[in-house]
Structure 1
Amino acid sequence: MPGDGAVADKRHAPATLRNRDAITAVLADWLPASGTVLEVASGSGEHAVHFAAAFPQLAWQPSDPDPAGLTSIAAYRAEAALANIAAPVALDAASARWPLDSAAAILCINMVHISPWEATLGLFAGAARLLAPGAPLILYGPYVEPGVPTAESNSAFDASLRSRNRAWGLRHTDELKAAATDAGFAFAERRAMPANNLMLLFRRT
């Protein structure tokens, strides 16, 4: 279970401070006007409280498979004291059982490359169960694109990830699009982001 919100429970992911405003600007275009946004793999929880504050008309549901992550999210949630952010829930993207039955949108930041491919397949499968036709599934992170030179920093990051875990690594966007199609999603839009990242929008068909 998440902790009681003690400051000592809070984790800090430096990248969140650098990318949260750029991500928010894209989310303003892609998120629905109302409903619950499920954030898969919320990590420290810093993104969750930032987005909940930026979109007060939406209900924000953070999640993570790591108990320490859930504890950190709970601490940031307690500090923020926002009415539209729910208590974090344990969610393993690769699992066939998710703790929600529906959502208006799903957001997943920096999970796809730091998890086995099965987690990405599970993400699409789970999103297909929860989302109504037309609803968005939004991914953020570094990817490899066909016909687009991969930045040296991304290539080095990919090598580092694979040295830590052979099941990790930057995914190819064409593989993501194929997995999305198989799960009942259509690729809708790509946005280039700072630091050689991308935001990818898929919609439930």
Structure 2
Amino acid sequence: MNTLRWALDRLTLYLPVLLMGALAMASYLLVRSTPSQSEVVASAVAQHQPDYFMREFAVKTFDAQGQLKSEVKGREMRHYPDTDTLEIDQVVIRSFDEQGHLTTATARQALTNADASEVTLIGDARVLRAATVSPAGKPQPAMSFQGEQLHALVDTERVRSDQPVTLTRGQDQFTADSMDYDNQQQVIEMQGRVRGVLFPGNKP
């Protein structure tokens, strides 16, 4: 097994966790705005059937100054009482950090547990941080994670995938069979068949 550890700048390192945190908050707001379990007629036999849903929805959060902090949109959201989970089809997540830098995530489907501590993007999952300028005035190229599945553990600030992933930063690109990102340790570990292309002048 080959292992690649690549230390990235701080903005890059917080990319997945910021996005998953935005989805966690939006999921919490979705749950709050929908009927409680006691308001739903219980079925005699537990089945994996949604007890409520929302279509063509958008949930936004704002800071104290009224600036948009995050937005979650989807074609349809379903809540399953037997597993207490949410499924969101054709999800689009937009999140802004304190400097106003935009990070966007898209996938065919997002799954989250009851307290939104675990979030999974499934099907053509992509997390993209737009190009920015650091506080020191240094240009930071666009950065993205892409794969069929990205799984985030929000409480422990980890993002994992046991499927092939592609990490792109500017023109530089890495591919691997799996990925384990630890935000607390600020380390990305790419495993399996790891391949990378670095262009002159591009520094992590």
Q: Which structure shows the bigger proportion of residues in strand conformation? A: 2
**Which has the greater radius of gyration?**
2
TM-score of the pair, normalised by structure 2 = 0.28
Q: Which structure shows the bigger proportion of residues in helix conformation? A: 1
